[in-house]
Amino acid sequence: MKQHAAAEDSGTLHISFLGLIPTAKKTTMENKIPVKLPFGKTIFQTSSGQSITSDTAFMVETMLHHFKTERLSVLELGSGNGIISIMLSYYRPTWKITGIDIQPHLVKLAKDNSRLAEVDPLFLCSDLKSFSAKKKIDLIISNPPYFPKIDGRISPVRERAISRHEIKCTMNDVLNAVKRNLNSEGKAYLLYPMSRINELWVSAKRVDLKFKEKIIFFETENKKKVLVVLKHA
């Protein structure tokens, strides 16, 4: 895979394609932080929300590695500012990508970002607990909230709290959304902390989904995450 590098520019959060990690200090402008994408476009994230992390790069790179030429329908559950769907739309322009999020201001931001990046994923304001696609989906991806509501301190910032903790949706809600929307031969990729792998396995089995593959991601030695590939049982 070709590596892209981004030069530093004061006030802009740059991301390298292989790492998608900040290489410049964050500075805010009208409550938004500019993010320079590997292909030269600049989009924005909110200053109060969950920051872009290496999880984003890991998800994008894995999708591009696993799916090279297929024409796919793709659903992103919890699309946030749209960066994953936007990057996939750029590198896989034949894919039909839809991102859904429950927070209206993030859906608007994702739409604005897609225009800035000159790509055309569809972003919808919708609750994944009830969302049903008109046609079953080939590929579902999600980097959902990692922590149950009872686990750790919940951020007083509403947007950040919803992104990190299971306030608006639980693991079971995510799995039910996958079950409801995935076509019979489709795959779903869900990224969770390794500490929840047993819970994920039991919960997936309960809704008749099976593990196809597990891809381990080391953010740091003490922060292992797992990208689980699910299919219908």
In a domain, 138, yes or no: yes
133 or 69, higher pLDDT: 133
Task: Look up the pTM and report it.
Answer: 0.87
**pLDDT tens figures, 7-37:** 333 344 434 444 444 434 444 456 889 999 9
Residue numbers of the domain that contains 204? 52-232
In a domain, 212, yes or no: yes
- Would you state the torsion angle of the CA atoms of residues 3, 20, 187, 192, taken in this order, to the nearest 10 degrees? 150
In a domain, 45, yes or no: no
In a domain, 46, yes or no: no
What is the predicted pLDDT for the residue at 62?
95
Tokens of 32: 């938004």
In a domain, 15, yes or no: no
Banded model confidence at residue 69, pLDDT cuts 50, 70, 90: confident
CATH of the domain at 143: 3.40.50.150
Angle CA(184)–CA(187)–CA(192) in degrees, nearest 5? 140
C-alpha dist (Å) from residue 100 to 39, 129, 132, 139, 191: 24, 11, 11, 14, 17
In a domain, 16, yes or no: no
Q: Domain count of the chain?
A: 1
In a domain, 7, yes or no: no
At residue 210, what are phi and psi to the nearest 5 degrees?
Answer: -125, 150
**Distance (Å, rounded) from C-alpha 8 to C-alpha 122?**
30
In a domain, 58, yes or no: yes
Q: What is the mean pLDDT of residues 94-122?
A: 97
What is the predicted pLDDT for the residue at 81?
96
